[in-house]
């Protein structure tokens, strides 16, 4: 559970306070980028990074960019849950929370407030994130055209970015502007099953940059 995960990580003596955190037999990894490298070490085949050094640099750049980019759809989610917590239940489908999903949603108000504050899910930020989304999608589509992402075997950049796009597609407001694009198609291929759906929630004028 968000927020609660911080305490669990501390109890398990991880150095940082974010999930995902991996505790394999052979070592620890925290943070998606560190975990990708640890996984390649443990199981080099199929690789998460290309062997060509120039292409590897590009994949690592995309991966690092994606690590920042993920903050946008995350902010969208907390902003939306602040207004209506009901869609939260759909995102918890299949998750083992330790408490019934309905109860978690009913009592989740304080958790949502804290998460929205931690992630700076303000009107101003969310509106700006929506306005810059078309540029972000252009950038991802270009990486796909250039072969940095979207190859036969998903690489670390695909996993970093496609998962974030998949979350964005779960918003009814955003799906029409993403799903037909290369970025959207890649997201559906890398993450075909993804629970969760958020009905229309953003003020219409905030979506103007996407319509344009």
Closer Cβ to ligand GSH, 82 or 210, answer by number: 82
Tokens of 201: 């929630």
Is 113 among the residues that bind ligand GSH (CB under 6 A)? no
Binding mask 55-94 for ligand GSH (x = CB under 6 A): ------------x--x------------------------
Closer Cβ to ligand GSH, 166 or 207, answer by number: 166
Closer Cβ to ligand GSH, 40 or 210, answer by number: 40
Interface size with ligand GSH, residues (CB under 6 A): 14
CB of 204 to ligand GSH, least distance (A): 28
Closer Cβ to ligand GSH, 108 or 207, answer by number: 108
Residues lying near ligand GSH in the complex (CB under 6 A) are found at 2-3, 5-6, 17-20, 31-33, 67, 70, 115
């Amino acid at each position: 559970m968000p927020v609660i995960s911080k305490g669990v990580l501390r109890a398990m003596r991880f150095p940082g306070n974010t999930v995902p955190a991996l505790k394999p037999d052979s070592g620890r990894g925290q943070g998606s980028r560190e975990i990708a490298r640890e996984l390649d070490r443990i199981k080099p085949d199929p690789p998460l990074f290309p062997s060509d050094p120039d292409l590897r640099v590009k994949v690592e750049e995309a991966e690092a960019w994606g690590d920042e980019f993920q903050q946008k759809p995350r902010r969208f989610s907390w902003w939306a849950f602040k207004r209506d917590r009901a869609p939260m239940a759909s995102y918890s489908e299949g998750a083992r929370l330790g408490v019934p999903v309905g109860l978690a949603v009913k009592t989740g108000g304080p958790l949502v407030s804290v998460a929205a504050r931690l992630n700076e899910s303000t009107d101003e930020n969310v509106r700006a994130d929506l306005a810059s989304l078309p540029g972000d999608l252009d950038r991802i589509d270009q990486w796909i055209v250039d072969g940095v992402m979207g190859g036969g075997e998903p690489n670390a950049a695909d996993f970093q970015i496609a998962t974030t796009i998949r979350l964005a597609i779960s918003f009814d407001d955003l799906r029409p502007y993403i799903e037909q694009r290369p970025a959207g198609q890649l997201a559906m291929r890398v993450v075909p099953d993804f629970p969760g759906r958020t009905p229309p929630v953003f003020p219409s004028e905030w979506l103007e940059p996407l319509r344009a």
